[in-house]
Structure 1
Amino acid sequence: MTLKQRKVPMRKDVLTNEMAPKRLLVRIVKNKEGQVSLDPTGKKPGRGAYVGLNAAAVKQAQQKHSLDKILETKLSDDFYQELYDYVEHQQARFDLFGELGKKH
């Protein structure tokens, strides 16, 4: 008896336009009130955009205000810094734990 392969949900990284497994991306959500926040659970209501665990891409997005255009709102430098710190932390965790860090 063979184990059935589970389908890996894929999402597009809005900064690089590359497809990646959802768990390797960070969801950013804009709610009805226009507030933008990180969504580590992926369950907050609102318009979502996914960003990969690439700190350099986040820094570049901050300089070009790429996410402002994608989410159609003005984002603060504090938000970009929060995103950068989160992405850097998640990348470090992934580098440390690799596939072991994934949820089953």
Structure 2
Amino acid sequence: MRQCTGCQEMKSKKEMLRILKTAEGEVVLDTTGRKNGRGAYLCFSGECLKKARKNRGLERSLKMNIPPEVYDSLEKELDKIGME
């Protein structure tokens, strides 16, 4: 079970998206769930991304400052895979 950084609900790994901080400090969407790096999880909901942005949940989970451009690119990537 993993906790969503937006809504704080506990769900299984397969029900969530993994956001990854790579060794180079880059923040990317991990669609496979198997890449190396520090991960944070979000529900398949645009609302959860907005909540995570507002409550700085991703920043706490990934232990780094996340610039607004990264949130914008995450939103675009999530739209591509069909998130609400």
TM-score bracket relative to the smaller structure: 0.7 to 0.9
Aligned to 1:40: 31
2:72 is the counterpart of 1:72: no
Q: Which of 59, 74, 91 pairs up with 2:83?
A: 91
Q: TM-score, normalised by structure 2?
A: 0.75
8 A contact 1:54–1:87 mirrored in 2: no
Q: State the secondary structure of the residue aligned to 1:56.
A: helix
Aligned to 1:51: 42
8 A contact 1:54–1:91 mirrored in 2: yes
Matched AA of 1:90 = G
Q: CA deviation at 1:76?
A: 1.8
State the percentage of identical aligned residues: 33
- Structure with greater Cα Rg: 1
Q: TM-score, normalised by structure 1?
A: 0.64
Residues 1:46 and 1:71: Cα distance change in structure 2 (over 3 Å): same
Greater RCO, 1 or 2 (C-alpha within 8 Å, sep 6+): 2
Unmatched 5+ stretches in structure 1: 1-9, 93-104
8 A contact 2:6–2:51 mirrored in 1: no
For residues 16-71 of structure 1, the C-alpha deviation after alignment (integer angstroms, 9 at most, x for no partner) is 22122323211011122322211111121011111111211212322343311221
Q: Structure 1: which 4+ aligned runs deviate by more than 6 Å? A: none
Higher helix content, 1 or 2 = 1
What CA distance in whole angstroms lies between the structure 2 residues aligned with 1:64 and 1:19?
17
What CA distance in whole angstroms lies between the structure 2 residues aligned with 1:25 and 1:86?
15
